[in-house]
Structure 1
Amino acid sequence: MSDTNDTFANFRFTTIINDRCDKSLKLETRSVKFWECALWCGRVKDCRRFLHSKNNLMCTLYSDGNNCIVNGDSSGYRCFVKYFGCVADTCTCPRGFYGDKCTQIAIDCKDYVARGFGESKTVLTNIQPETSPEPFEASCWLGSSGALTILERDATCNVENFNRSLHEYGVGFGNVPWNGWLGFDKILPLVSKQNSRLRLEVYFRRTSSISCGIKYNLFSIGNYSSQYTFYAARFDAIGSTFCGDSIMGGNSTLNLTGRPFSTFDSDLTGFDCPTTFGGGWWFADDIRCTDSFATGGAMSHNYWRNTLQNQQISYLVLKVAYY
């Protein structure tokens, strides 16, 4: 078999997502034919997938992620992810996998960091919590806490529909993690881990480029039967700029602790809050519904009443971390 055919056998076709947001780790871009692009990625150890356009012959190599992002018309583009294997006891593993024949996998982002895989601030990697039936791709922040992104919104991304059913919030949707919801099915095995202390980290950036953060300690989420009830014990600032609490009742805001997650098809508020706000959230059983909101379709629909008041939010992210 020729070298070219051997190279093609090392890849599988994967999905192309239409969005303006692509924060995955690019290695290099050059103009080459398709088969040359495949050969190039095959010979670069850190290349995990490639995107090629038959229209302009542009080939881009990536060191993380399973799918490719294209802004606009994706016709003519092809995305391939590299198969990994072992030759003469030397193994090249997908991100998150390790050990003999790549049979072991990091159980969460903190485990990924502890095993010394991290080489950038954030990375898309495979993880599999102990009670998860299968691995899944996650965005890990590679600080000491190894935080997992469960929601990220950016004004530069496409407008995503967050007015989804409870089932969709369970399985996840959108351009995860940069413009979508990871899914409660993936979050629950992490937050229900025994003898662990978790916090929910919330970061915002206003259009004025001023950022702030807040963390909710002893954070947890109830199971499906409780409709993913929100729990947290206390809050504190992240860094020098404090967002102010808008979840636990600080500064006369509504307290969402102990509240279930409501969606348009499973509303436990009594005030039609999910339909009014256009997305799922831990709404209060109050006509005001909430003083915080992160799942509006357009970024202008998201807000944090305490501190930010009605200022435009250009970026927000929710992360779960151990401490």
Structure 2
Amino acid sequence: MSCFAFLLLLTYVSGNDKSALFTKTKVIINKCDQTTNLGIVNAVQNNVDCAILCSSDVDCRRYLYCSSTSSCNLYLDGTDCIMTSDSIDCSCYRKNFDCDQTGCTCPYGYYGERCQKIIEDCTDGYDIGIRNTNQVVASIRPIGASEPVHVLCVFDNGGSTFILNRLVECDTENFNRTMSDYKTGFGEVVFNSWVGLENIVRIQAAHSGERETVMEIYLQVDNFECKIEYRDVTVKNEMSGYAFSSTGAVAVSSFTYCGDALLSSISLLNQSFSTTDIDTTGNYECAIKYGGGWWYKDHVDCTRGFLTGTMDGSGRDNFWFDANAINLVAVQLRFI
């Protein structure tokens, strides 16, 4: 494994001075990877040669070098590298910046002369000119946050920030967590993750009074897929229990309507967020009953929709109305 924590490249190609800085990141073992692979190059002699290949590709923002196979994987986005098996001889590096006389290539979420600035959320990124119609891993730093947060972004149609992502094909993530975990966020962003209640509050605050918050939910249940949008959404602050409110649900063009499971017969309007250690549903103990952080009503049935459960039958699985066996969940915020 390479001993470099940082790797600085200075090259001179065809009359063009070029500099790039890479930071060593983690290699994670998981059975799936949702980041975008730009290709693999074999017979690469060493880590530096792999870095040069990444620096030569304007779209490359991360690479994985494995010495035993002399292979170099190039990636469009992300910070850490994901492998399905032993990674002892592999090293992962993220490109901090890659600049020449024409400008800089930055990791998604960063911008500026030396990629020194960071966007507040994915809508902010769209507003400054970042574009990509696909889901990409980006760094954001909502107003008031001390550290950057990794999220899935779509830099199209005004920009969307994913706040919840679940994928049954990937290694499971424990969503039966404390309020402290749900406040700060957890999980691996590209497959099973929650962005954090405090980050949701901060992201909303940046657009308060200027734009309407829309929460879009996308579900796949076996071979069926659907969407629903909740308009004028607010997640209140910690003093208000992170209570949820919305003016109503609407269908999404070209998609089957999922049905309104949050504001219908068991309405979660103005209900606080509950976890097993801070359950606001009294004797109904909904968070304990379902085993995941969510907005519940103090009602015997608690909710018609629940998206932070298990996905493998080991506990109370995700559901939406009467639809079970949900294999993909994506919840994102847009501002219009």
* Corresponding residue number in structure 2 for 1:303: 319
Give distance in 2, aligned partners of 1:100 and 1:33.
Answer: 32
**Equivalent residues in 2 for 1:121-132, closer than 5 Å:** 121-132=134-145
Compute the TM-score of the two structures, normalised by the length of structure 1. Answer: 0.88
User: Which of 241, 244, 258 pairs up with 2:259?
Assistant: 244
Give distance in 1, aligned partners of 2:34 and 2:245.
Answer: 31
Give distance in 2, aligned partners of 1:72 and 1:286.
Answer: 45
Give distance in 1, aligned partners of 2:323 and 2:241.
Answer: 29
Per-residue deviation at 1:145?
Answer: 3.2
Aligned letter for 2:318?
Answer: N
1:268 aligns with 2:284: no
* Corresponding residue number in structure 1 for 2:113: 100
* Corresponding residue number in structure 2 for 1:212: 226
Q: Is the 8 A contact 1:149 1:177 kept in 2?
A: no
3-state SS in 2 of match to 1:10: strand
Per-residue deviation at 1:281?
Answer: 0.7
| Structure 2: gaps of 5 or more residues | 1-6, 11-19
Q: Is the 8 A contact 2:64 2:74 kept in 1?
A: yes
* Corresponding residue number in structure 1 for 2:241: 227
**Equivalent residues in 2 for 1:1-323, closer than 5 Å:** 6-7=8-9, 10-31=21-42, 32-35=44-47, 36-84=49-97, 90-193=103-206, 194-195=208-209, 196-207=211-222, 209-239=223-253, 240-249=255-264, 252=265, 254-270=266-282, 271-298=284-311, 300=313, 301-305=317-321, 309-323=322-336
Give distance in 2, aligned partners of 1:303 and 1:24.
Answer: 27
3-state SS in 1 of match to 2:294: coil
CA RMSD of superposed structures (Å): 2.2
Aligned letter for 1:173?
Answer: F
Q: Is the 8 A contact 2:221 2:323 kept in 1?
A: no
Q: Is the 8 A contact 1:151 1:178 kept in 2?
A: no
Per-residue deviation at 1:319?
Answer: 0.6
After alignment, is 87-96 or 107-116 more displaced? 87-96
1:181-235 deviations in Å (ceiling 9; x for gaps): 111232211122321310111111111x221111110101011122211111111
Give distance in 2, aligned partners of 1:268 and 1:290.
Answer: 13
Q: How many residues align?
A: 312
3-state SS in 1 of match to 2:274: coil
After alignment, is 33-42 or 193-202 more displaced? 33-42
Compute the TM-score of the two structures, normalised by the length of structure 2. Answer: 0.85
Q: Is the 8 A contact 1:201 1:214 kept in 2?
A: yes
Q: Is the 8 A contact 2:141 2:147 kept in 1?
A: yes
1:239-271 deviations in Å (ceiling 9; x for gaps): 34111111002xx3x111111111111111122
Aligned letter for 1:15?
Answer: K
Give distance in 1, aligned partners of 2:267 and 2:108.
Answer: 39
3-state SS in 2 of match to 1:83: strand
After alignment, is 285-294 or 78-87 more displaced? 78-87
After alignment, is 167-176 or 64-73 more displaced? 64-73
1:26-69 deviations in Å (ceiling 9; x for gaps): 11112223323223223323221111223333321112111111
Q: Is the 8 A contact 2:35 2:190 kept in 1?
A: no
Q: Give me the identity figure in percent.
A: 34
| Structure 1: gaps of 5 or more residues | none
After alignment, is 175-184 or 128-137 more displaced? 128-137
After alignment, is 225-234 or 106-115 more displaced? 106-115
3-state SS in 1 of match to 2:123: helix
Per-residue deviation at 1:127?
Answer: 2.5
Per-residue deviation at 1:86?
Answer: 5.0
Q: Is the 8 A contact 1:166 1:262 kept in 2?
A: yes
